[in-house]
Structure 1
Amino acid sequence: MRTVTNTIPQAFAAAVRRDPTAPLLTWYDDASGDRTELSGATLDNWVSKTANLLVDGVGLGHGDIVALVLPPHWQTAALLLGTSVAGLAADLGEEPQPVEAVFTTPDLVVRATAWSALDRYATGLLPLAMPLRTLPEGYADYVTEVRNYGDHFRGGAPVDPADLALSGPYELSHSDVIEAATERAAELGIAAGDRVLVDTAVHPEAADWLLAPLVAGASVVLCANLDRAKLESRITSEKVSVSLA
């Protein structure tokens, strides 16, 4: 019997509990050759560190907004989930607005400047979570800074289903996000226990590549710059049951 979840942190906690050692998110970039596999426990570690960075490092509080001007990536997942776990709202970079912090890549810095924020972080989304050699002016390195924070997040008040989860053109509460993700999982044919391969070029929205599988109880094989010649062998090697490519 599946646990009923009404918030993003609840959905993520349920995913980790199912099997902390099993792959929850596997990342491929066929342009760089990068493959990163994160178990539930490993992703939870990154999520907790991110939440601690946002609360203890940046000093954000319940309901503050964090802009994520980032492409699909496992670090983007850690940042989105960490933001939610910390009781903050995520702006997924659709429409500029005043926010408390912004996270982006060097390639998207020009776009990210449209978001007004005092605290700015960049990540190269590099293999092995390597730090950037050269930081954009005015930015701190996310992967360097986040490693200084604790592996467990001890937040204040629990996240409420009515709390704001996603901010931007459409403001959605946690219950709204869970409902939409559940409906989207059904549309995409994702069910509990599935191993879902997602081509980021086809499904660039976090609702598809992260939230729908998470809420459904599935794991993800997230592929950027997908080499179609490798698709069938990857489906076999990763034991993929649903392909969104």
Structure 2
Amino acid sequence: MNLTDALVRDPLTGGRAAEVDRPLLTYLDDATGERVDLTATELGSWAARAAGLLREGCGLGVGDRAAVLLPAHWQTAAVLLGAWSAGVAVSFQPRATAGLPRLGPGADGPFDAVFVSAERLDDWLEDVPEARHRYVLGLGAAPPREVPLGYLDWFAEVGRHTDALPASAPLTSTDAASPDGTSYREWGSVALAVAERLDLRAGDRLLVDVAEHEQPVYWLLAPLAVGASVVLCANLDPATLDARVAAEHVTRVL
């Protein structure tokens, strides 16, 4: 089972694939003016590069664990999908720092890889779990100004890999997708249940305020599971929400 295909091209349910010529994931930052539009194919390519970094660059695969200490962002989507495609179990926000949610409850370190944003690293330096491979992400239009000792620049490293998924042992729906043992199939069921609760359907376009919803089940897994697309908004200005909804053809707001 290729999870990138399962999530992006043929979502978790085995249902409708996303439209390849339209943005599947749009990232907007109202403070900087940054905009990134990714089709299903483009997001899948970034996920494949991320998988290549983990498998070929780090030698990781099924049975290994990654901690992802990142906010909702298009690069975070690539990291998560890449890790799952490589068979690496993911803990999202594994520590309850600042009350942030986590994917894979009870999943403390040690980890084989850790991903942390440059913006949060200063605040979290003492709380970043131990890992053999450490990556920092700038999550902006420019790379991080300074890469801390012991870390590598994820964006630079992932660019060394191709957009073809590396060869790996086949994944199954019962393999662990998070370090607490939750399987791909179980996360798929959770994603579908969340999509139903949000009344998300194929073709919907979901706008998400990233400051309010960092849990990837809401902004990544649930929409992709039913073939919906996502507009991630950072530093969202409430005064422009109605205009943004109209301009982006949004059908649901979270």
- Once residues 76 and 51 of structure 2 are traced to their aligned partners in structure 1, the CA distance between those partners, rounded to angstroms, is 13
Structure 2: runs of 5+ lacking an equivalent: 96-107
- Once residues 198 and 230 of structure 1 are traced to their aligned partners in structure 2, the CA distance between those partners, rounded to angstroms, is 14
- TM-superposed CA distance for 1:136, in Å, is 1.4
SS of equivalent to 1:181: helix
State the identity as a percent: 40
- TM-superposed CA distance for 1:210, in Å, is 0.6
Contact residue 25 and residue 74 of structure 2 kept, 8 A: yes
- TM-superposed CA distance for 1:88, in Å, is 1.0
- Once residues 156 and 164 of structure 1 are traced to their aligned partners in structure 2, the CA distance between those partners, rounded to angstroms, is 16
- TM-superposed CA distance for 1:186, in Å, is 0.6
Q: Does 1:111 align with 2:107?
A: no
Structure 2 residue aligned with 1:187, among 197, 204, 215?
197
- Once residues 92 and 114 of structure 1 are traced to their aligned partners in structure 2, the CA distance between those partners, rounded to angstroms, is 12
TM-score normalized by structure 2?
0.87
- Once residues 150 and 7 of structure 1 are traced to their aligned partners in structure 2, the CA distance between those partners, rounded to angstroms, is 17
Describe the shift of the 1:165–1:9 C-alpha distance in structure 2 as closer, same or farther (beyond 3 A): farther
- Once residues 40 and 5 of structure 2 are traced to their aligned partners in structure 1, the CA distance between those partners, rounded to angstroms, is 13
2:250 is aligned to 240
Mapping for residues 110-189 of structure 1, pairs under 5 Å: 110-111=123-124, 113-127=127-141, 130-167=142-179, 170-189=180-199
- TM-superposed CA distance for 1:222, in Å, is 0.6
SS of equivalent to 1:166: coil
**CA RMSD, 1 decimal:** 1.9
- Once residues 154 and 57 of structure 1 are traced to their aligned partners in structure 2, the CA distance between those partners, rounded to angstroms, is 11
Deviates more, 1:21-30 or 1:153-162: 153-162
Count, aligned residues: 236
SS of equivalent to 1:125: coil
- Once residues 54 and 82 of structure 1 are traced to their aligned partners in structure 2, the CA distance between those partners, rounded to angstroms, is 8
1:11 is aligned to 7
- TM-superposed CA distance for 1:17, in Å, is 4.7
Contact residue 6 and residue 175 of structure 1 kept, 8 A: no
TM-score normalized by structure 1?
0.90
- Once residues 136 and 99 of structure 1 are traced to their aligned partners in structure 2, the CA distance between those partners, rounded to angstroms, is 19
Deviations 1:35-65 (A, max 9, x none): 1111111111110100000000011121211
- Once residues 106 and 7 of structure 1 are traced to their aligned partners in structure 2, the CA distance between those partners, rounded to angstroms, is 27
SS of equivalent to 1:172: coil
Contact residue 7 and residue 160 of structure 1 kept, 8 A: no
Contact residue 3 and residue 85 of structure 2 kept, 8 A: no
Structure 1: runs of 5+ lacking an equivalent: none
SS of equivalent to 1:51: helix
- Once residues 134 and 113 of structure 2 are traced to their aligned partners in structure 1, the CA distance between those partners, rounded to angstroms, is 6
2:58 is aligned to 58
- Once residues 227 and 171 of structure 1 are traced to their aligned partners in structure 2, the CA distance between those partners, rounded to angstroms, is 39
